[in-house]
Amino acid sequence: MADRPRKTPGPPSGTRSAEAGIGRPLPGARMTWHKPPAARVAGAPAHKTEPERLLRTSTSRSAPVPEAAGKVPPDGVRIAKLMAERGLCSRRDADEYIVRGWVFVEGRRVSELGTRAHPDAVITLDRQAQANQQSRLTILLNKPVGYVSGQPEPGCKPAVTLIRPETQYRTPDTPAFHPACLKGLAPAGRLDIDSTGLLILTQDGRVARQLIGENSMIDKEYLVRVAGHLDAGGLALLQHGLSLDDRKLKPARVEWLNDDQLRFVLHEGRKRQIRRMCELVGLRVTGLKRVRIGAVRLGDLPPGQWRFLRPDERF
């Protein structure tokens, strides 16, 4: 009887032979997935398969881009907060854009309030949101004495009541007033009731954040008439060294323009700041006018009149 051929050991259960591709799992075989390490080399691009980044752009060209579902791990940041921090819009506008489905995170649409994303996630706006922003108006007003810049106080008139067709300062190339100009219009900064000059009112949350946001570095220039005596030491204190409400003031530029007028350039806007600063060094303010905010000047805008911020103007 001829010897039987010996059996050779086959591949382990759950894998194919060499012809089928060694190491590839059989249908139904259980696979073990090993989570890649969380650490990443500084400067290296994030991989699209990184599990911590739940909101990712689909690599399939044929499949529709789905809406982002779920939330990233607790260390993620609310998308509305990220949008405001990056100057894309205000927090209020961010919530509105998210609800309308006008926000994309890493290419995927987000429509649920409170959704979080990785702090360095790419966030873009739909064209409808961009068009909405471009339609937002910003107005320059030369506020006279007797008007409050913000919420009306008893017996006082809010500055926004001056935004009327008959008080518009027009040139041949400027658009006309329309009642829609008043919708959502709010002051971006304060100007005391007994102060005059440049006051910005805007519908655009980006402009408001730029001018009065926590990290704003936009400077404001004031011409201040004073009464009293100020020595060199007092001038140095106005420039740096004073505190209001137990908080130190940021450095300011202060200089004499003539015998009774000072020029102030501030990087903050505390309540009645200049008047209180002058009181601390023995001066009394008799007149205060704001003439510039950032790169935008009051110019020859008459008192009590207003105009639109021009497309070529930037703060």
Q: Out of 8-12, 78-82, 163-167, 177-181, which region has the weakest mean confidence (pLDDT)?
A: 8-12
Q: Enumerate residues 6+ apart whose C-beta is below 8 A from 200.
A: 138, 139, 140, 141, 187, 188, 189, 207, 211, 293, 296
Q: Is the pLDDT of residue 78 over 70?
A: yes
Checking if the pLDDT of 267 tops 60, the result is yes
Question: What is the domain class of 136-216+295-315 according to CATH?
Answer: alpha beta
**Do the domains spanning 136-216+295-315 and 219-293 agree at the CATH topology level?**
yes
Average pLDDT over residues 207-231: 91
Averaged pLDDT for residues 134-146 = 89
Alpha-helical (H) ranges within the chain are 79-85, 91-99, 127-134, 205-212, 232-239, 273-280
What tokens appear for 280 in the block? 């601390």
Which candidate, 207, 213, 265, places its Cα nearest to that of 239? 265
Given this model, what pLDDT does residue 69 score? 42
219-293 topology per CATH: Alpha-Beta Plaits (3.30.70)
Cα 3 to Cα 7, 9, 129, 131, 194, distances in angstroms = 12, 18, 82, 86, 115
Distance, in Å, from the CA atom of 239 to the CA atom of 139, rounded to the nearest integer, reads 31
89-109: average pLDDT: 87
| Model pLDDT for residues 34-66, shown as the tens digit of each residue | 444 444 444 444 444 443 333 333 333 334 444
Task: Please list the residues that pair with 263 across neighbouring strands.
Answer: 223, 255
- pLDDT, mean of residues 116-142: 85
Confirm if 221 and 264 have CB atoms less than 8 A apart: yes
If you average pLDDT over residues 267-296, what whole number do you get? 95
Which residues are known catalytic residues?
Answer: 192
pLDDT for the residue 63: 40
Show Cβ contacts of residue 201 under 8 Å, excluding neighbours closer than 6 positions: 138, 139, 141, 159, 160, 163, 185, 186, 187, 188, 306
What are the residue ranges spanned by the domains of the chain? 77-133, 136-216+295-315, 219-293
Residue 134: per-residue pLDDT: 65
Q: How far apart are CA 239 and CA 234, in angstroms?
A: 9
pLDDT at residue 43, as a whole number: 45
Segment 186-193 shows an average pLDDT of 92
pTM over 0.85: no
Distance CA 111, CA 99 (A): 5
Q: Give the pLDDT score at 129.
A: 78
3-class SS at 123?
strand
Q: State which of 51-65, 107-121, 163-177, 256-270 shows the largest mean pLDDT.
A: 256-270
3-state secondary structure of 103: strand
pLDDT at residue number 10: 52
Q: What is the mean pLDDT of residues 280-309?
A: 96
Give phi and psi for 227, each to the nearest 5.
Answer: -125, 140
- 77-133 CATH: 3.10.290.10
**Model pLDDT for residues 150-170, shown as the tens digit of each residue:** 876 777 899 999 999 999 998
Contact predicate 181/163, CB 8 Å: yes
